[in-house]
Amino acid sequence: MNPPCYVTPHPSSIRGPEKISFVVIGAGLIGPRHAAHVLDRPDCELFAIVDHSAKGPLVAQQLNTMLFQNLDDLFAHCDANLLNYPAAAIVATPNHTHVRMGMQLAARGIHMLMEKPLAPSPSECKSLIAYCHAKNVTLLVGHHRRFNPYIIATKDHLYKLGQLVAIQGTWTLCKPPAYFLEKPWRSSTALGGGTLLINLIHDLDLLQYLLGPIEKVYAELLTKQRTDSGHHDLVDEGAALTLRFENGCCGTFICSDNVTSPFLFEAGTGENPTVPFNDSIAGFYRIFGSHGTLSVPDLKLYHQEHELHQESSLQLPSPSPSPNVKDSPIHRMNDFKKPQPFALQLEHFVNLITGAETAVKCSGDDALRALLCIEAVVKSIETGLPQYVDKIDQIDLDFDLMNQFDV
Ligand SMILES: NC(=O)c1ccc[n+]([C@@H]2O[C@H](COP(=O)([O-])OP(=O)(O)OC[C@H]3O[C@@H](n4cnc5c(N)ncnc54)[C@H](O)[C@@H]3O)[C@@H](O)[C@H]2O)c1
């Protein structure tokens, strides 16, 4: 066992035992952001971070917490010092590591907020969900955009569109070479790299959150432009999709991480400090209904002149033949200038652990449904044909995998 390399007094001895103690696994791009939110909460404490890279000691020092190279070392440290394991973990390591980490945590009864995608394959994903359930462990998946105020407002106002008919969306930007060169897993398909699994999965989760399950997809791979030999392999740069939802809605979506464009969720909402906020962006999503169209994130509702519904009434007037379409803002943009979806996601996780909330806002099954859509996208690209999205009950459990982790 490697000893923790930066040891501070265990905070529970200072602040009282009622705090929820956390370990954050992964000190790369997103892990420290999660850890900062843990530190912001008076009801939580950061027990340690886990990371095996050279960056770990500096991050641990900045966060004033212990560092372990791996989870086994953390567990051994707790056992040797008769300490409780942390009650909760946030897993922010590369995609291919999630299942093993999740199983190790669940085996010890540690609740987890797991970054997306939950697992590389649907079978591993379903097995991890079942294992968490068997161990009575809370599993929340980090599709944090569900906690973004722009999305909450969008969902709240969808009824104003009448019958939902179609959606159009984009997630398009240009990732710089450094993004790939500094973290090789991001340019390895085998390790979960590629924008479909890293980025599109967020949008497909949101589209399903807003409109219900996607039933069928057709995808065309965008022509790859990266040729840099520093990459392991030339991971996908995105795809153009057509979608059909179970409720009959249809949609189109373009995802690219190699075009010069500001039309993406992060730029339009300003929620990610690494992507410049652009408050003039309109319509990275457009949702079309029989009585109106809602543009996101500008939250303009386009409707016939006399047809703006009252919040209190779900009664819809009949569509008018008038061509005079008006736009009405349903929120002032200033309301959302600093959205904090990670903080809201953590608050929800804490509430699930304490029992203050019981309905998981992004469950393992939600994450599995998003992963199944990505699987269908990949199959469509491979076959050149539209693909139905598998249902959760069509996926087999991997009992061998689950049996490996019991302690
Ligand atoms: N929700 C979001 O908006 C969002 C944004 C970015 C990344 N992510 C997800 O978060 C995860 C991490 O992404 P990232 O960009 O921060 O990755 P990263 O490569 O920047 O950081 C991952 C860290 O994990 C460490 N690590 C890897 N394997 C480990 C192991 N076995 N034990 C201990 N430490 C290990 C690495 O040393 C690295 O510091 C991915 O699953 C990604 O999809 C989510």
Superfamily, domain 12-145+398-403: NAD(P)-binding Rossmann-like Domain (3.40.50.720)
Per-residue pLDDT tens over the stretch 168-182: 999 999 999 889 888
Which H/E stretch holds residue 245? strand 238-245
Listed in sequence order, the residues at least 6 apart from 377 whose beta carbon sits closer than 8 Å to its beta carbon are 196, 200, 204, 217, 219, 239, 241, 387
Inter-CA distances, 83 with 327, 381, 388, Å: 59, 50, 49
What separation in Å is there between the alpha carbon of 25 and the centre of ligand 1?
8
Q: Can 12-145+398-403 and 149-336 be said to share one CATH topology?
A: no
What separation in Å is there between the alpha carbon of 323 and the centre of ligand 1?
50
Per-residue pLDDT tens over the stretch 198-251: 999 999 999 999 999 999 999 999 999 988 655 567 899 999 999 999 999 999
CA geometry: angle 311, 312, 313, nearest 5 deg: 95
Residue 374 CB–ligand 1 contact under 6 Å:
no
Q: Residue 5's pLDDT is what?
A: 58
CA–CA gap between residue 132 and residue 119 (Å, rounded): 13
Q: Residue 18's pLDDT is what?
A: 83
Domain residue extents for the chain: 12-145+398-403, 149-336
The domain 149-336 is classified under which CATH number: 3.30.420.40, 3.30.360.10, 3.40.50.150, 3.40.50.300? 3.30.360.10
What separation in Å is there between the alpha carbon of 203 and the centre of ligand 1?
19
Which H/E stretch holds residue 368? helix 364-383
What separation in Å is there between the alpha carbon of 382 and the centre of ligand 1?
28
CA geometry: angle 174, 176, 181, nearest 5 deg: 140
Listed in sequence order, the residues at least 6 apart from 26 whose beta carbon sits closer than 8 Å to its beta carbon are 49, 50, 51, 91, 92, 93, 94, 115
For ligand 1, atom 6, which residue shows the shortest CA distance? Answer: 30
For ligand 1, atom 39, which residue shows the shortest CA distance? Answer: 28
In 3D space, the residue among 82, 59, 72 whose CA is nearest the CA of residue 13 turns out to be 82
Task: Indicate which atom in ligand 1 lies nearest the CA of residue 143.
Answer: 1
